[in-house]
Amino acid sequence: MIDEVQSTKLSNGISILTEHMPGLRSVTAGIWVRRGSRHETPELNGICHFIEHAVFKGTERRSAHDIAVESDRLGGHLDAYTTHELTGFTVKVADTGLPLAFDLISDMLAHPRFDDGDLEREQKVILEEIKMVEDTPDELLAELFNAAYFPAHALGRPIEGTAETVATFNRETTSSFHAREFMPHNFVVAAAGNVDHARLVELAERAFSNGSSANGATPPAASPTCTPVTAAPILIEQKEELEQAHLIIAAPWPSSLHDDRYAATMLASVLGGGTSSRLWQRVREERGLAYSVGAGVSTFSDLGVFSVYAGTSPAQLDEVLDISMEELRRIVNEPVAEEELRLVKDQAVSSTLLSLESSSARASTLARQEIIHGRRISPDEMIRKLEAVTTDDIQRVAKVYLVSENLALGALGNLNGFEVDRSRLEI
């Protein structure tokens, strides 16, 4: 594959990365901030997500309506999101619209107005978002489980914050955090599509030439967050009005930077990564016990979390738990068959190659790699690493990470009579 990625680092600390995609007349560009919910204190839980919302309410030279009109006129898609480790703002437009689109999102990040009335209205919007999570059982279980799994750590707190913390985000609090953390040295600018690298560098230099936020403050270097220590809770939450019971089984996992991450990804795929996976076939196809069942991985810069998830009727929850544990024991104690490993490798390689057709996926990947790895990881390198995984690698990772004392469980629903002791989580 021809690598058409270019990178530049400005004197104010901004990293700029572009990937030219021949044949396109569109470009996805964005600004990613090296700050997410794990960089917040308990009192400020949710403020990165709040700022993600608040910058759409207007800048020093644009009203909220102006932002909406300009976005629509560009004919593209303007989006923003917050995770535990970063906050992203992206826009996909025709290539001719890139200067206007970048001026729009850079203005939103560099010069937000943070009007008191706007902030009060946005607090109400986010409170409704929090209520939506409470009304969505799988998301609610995930938040309750994370709080128990990461006790006294930011990874255990909800990205959107709580009703109590969001209510305190007035102009002074919001402006102060923004001035300290949403600064050029924490920005990564990335774009993919029909983009000229030198032109994007010029646009970024113009937008952030003063190297400061709207109030001109220059922040000190941010202190790193502490490495989380995971617990191994058994969390049973009663919610009588639910028709289904929701189950999570989790274990510590390799981080985004760990050498074992490729083998760990293959292991998770074998267990529950698709319709041919072990859990899907046994729980859904053979027994008809669940509509939704699978396994996945959440990775951070210093650790990861593996989880099995299933939604089933309360009367079948014990059986789903037993089958899930049988499959965890099996992958620890028996080598994966070569043909099974070949299947998940093909799946992963195909997914990697298909993502190359999306300018949005490529721009996002450039930014995430810069923030997490500090370097470019090419598709060729990823495929080589995936192809190098052996059945011995998978069993070794299983034995290291799927350990009885580290397994955790969460369940939510009308669970009268459902009990779990640690003996049921023995590998």
Out of 19, 40, 52, 160, the active site residue is 52
| Top CATH class, 5-207 | alpha beta
What is the value of pTM for the model shown?
Answer: 0.93
Whether 126 contacts 99, CB under 8 Å: no
- Res 225: pLDDT: 63
What residue ranges of the chain have pLDDT lower than 50?
1, 212-224
- Res 3: pLDDT: 60
Other beta carbons less than 10 A from residue 81's beta carbon: 15
Q: Which residues pair with 191 in a beta bridge?
A: 18, 29
- Res 182: pLDDT: 97
Q: What is the pLDDT of residues 368-422, one digit of tens each?
A: 999 999 999 999 999 999 999 999 999 999 999 999 999 999 999 999 889 999 9
Measured CA distances, 270 to 229, 252, 420 (Å): 27, 18, 26
Active-site residue 285, yes or no? no
CATH number of the domain located at residue range(s) 234-425 in this protein: 3.30.830.10
Question: What residues does CATH 3.30.830.10 cover in the chain?
Answer: 5-207, 234-425
- Res 207: pLDDT: 96
